Amino acid sequence: MTRGYTIPIGGAEEKMRTPAILARFVGLCGGERARIAVVPTASMLQTTGRKYEIVFRRLKVASVTVLPIETRADAARSAYVDALDGVDGVFLTGGNQLRLSTTLGGTPFAARLIERHAGAGLHVAGTSAGAAVMSEHMIAFGDDGGTPRADIVTLAPGLGLTGLAIIDQHFRQRDRLGRLLTALSYNPSFVGIGLDEDTAAFIGPDDTIVVAGSGAITVVDPSEVSYTSMDSANRSDPVSVLDVRLHILTDGARYDLRRRVATPPPAVVELPPSADALDEPVVSQAST
C-alpha cells in the first residue's frame, strides 16, 4: 500500500457553514464510508474531542471515535493503539504541539500512527498544534516578527510525517515569517510551509502539495541560499539570509516538495450564461 495524505491545517478552519477543508479530508477518507479517529491530546479542554466528533458526524462519516489520550501511559494502551488499524483517517486537534510531542513521542501509539501512515494509506490531518507536530523538525515555540534572529525559534522533534518540510501555522495572522526563516537558516535543506488560518496543505504520497482553503500558504524554499550569517550571529541579532525563494499559494495551487516547483491554480472554467452562446468555454486565469 501507499502512504496516506498528510494534511496540515493552519488553525481556525471553518467548522460550521462551509467546512471545505474538513469535508475534503472526509472525502479522501471515503466520504460516507469514512472512519475517523480524533486525537485531542494537544488540547487542555475536555470539550475539544467532542466538538470535532459533532463536526464529523454532521459531515456524515460512517464512524468517528475520540481517543482521549492524556498521558504517556494512555499512549501505550492497546485499545487506543489498535484503534488506528480500523480507521481511514486521524485528526489531530489544536492546542500545544509540545503536549503532543511529549505525550506521544516514542510511544506505541506514535509508532503505529507513523507506520500506518507510511505504509497502510492512513490519512493524517491536523490543525494548528496538530499541523506543527507533523514536521520532523517541529517549531515548538518562538517569537513573532518578520526578521529572523538566531534565538527567535525553538525546534523540537515532531512526529516526522513529512521529512521534507518545516510547518508553521496561524502564519499571516501571527506574523511568523521571521521564525520560519530562522528555522530554515539553521540548515537550508528543508522547505518552509507557512499556513494561514483556514488553509490547508494536502500533501500527497508523491510529496506534491495541493492548497485548499480561504487563506494562502507561504512556501519558503532556501535551496538556493548563497549566504546566511546564522553561524556568526549573537543570539538576539537579526540574521542575514540571501537568495530565498518565496511562493504565496492560494486555493488550488500546487507545490512539488521534491522538485521544488510551484504551479498556479488551474484555469477556472466559467460557463457563459448560456452554454450554447460560445463554441469554447471562457477560460480565465485565477489569481495566485
- What are residue 256's DSSP bridge partners? 208, 261
Q: How many CB atoms lie within 10 A of CB 82?
A: 12
**Does 187 sit near a second copy (CB under 8 A)?**
yes
Please state, in angstroms and rounded to a whole number, the distance separating the CA atoms of residues 244 and 224: 7
Which of 94, 85, 89, 87 lies closest to 25 in space, CA to CA? 89
Reduced to 3 states (helix: H, G, I; strand: E, B; else coil), residue 194 is strand
H or E element in which residue 98 lies:
helix 97-104
Q: Is 117 a catalytic residue?
A: no
Q: Residue from 155, 211, 217, 262 that binds a second copy (CB under 8 A)?
A: 155
- Residue 48 touching a second copy (CB under 8 A): no
Name the region of 107 (left: φ>0; alpha: ψ -120 to 50; beta: rest).
Answer: beta
Query: 128 catalytic, yes or no?
Result: yes
- Residues numbered 112 to 131 that lie near a second copy (CB under 8 A) are none
Q: Say which of 128, 135, 137, 185 is annotated catalytic.
A: 128
Cβ 225 vs Cβ 244: under 8 Å: yes
Please report whether residue 231 would count as binding a second copy according to CB under 8 A.
yes
Residue 120 or 225 having the CB closest to a second copy: 225
Helical spans, DSSP H, in 4-127: 20-28, 48-58, 78-83, 97-104, 108-119
Window of 91-99, 194-202, 211-219, 273-281 that interacts with a second copy by CB under 8 A: 91-99
Element (H, E) at 282: strand 282-284
Q: Counting contacts by CB under 8 A, is residue 103 touching a second copy?
A: yes
Of 189, 236, 284, 285, the one binding a second copy (CB under 8 A) is 189
Q: Would you call 137 a catalytic residue per the annotation?
A: no
- Active-site annotation holder among 117, 170, 185, 247: 170
Q: Under the criterion CB under 8 A, does residue 227 sit at the interface with a second copy?
A: yes
Contact footprint for a second copy (CB under 8 A): 71-73, 96, 98-99, 101-103, 105-106, 110, 136-138, 140-141, 151, 154-158, 183, 185-190, 222-223, 225-228, 230-232, 235
Catalytic site positions: 128, 170, 197
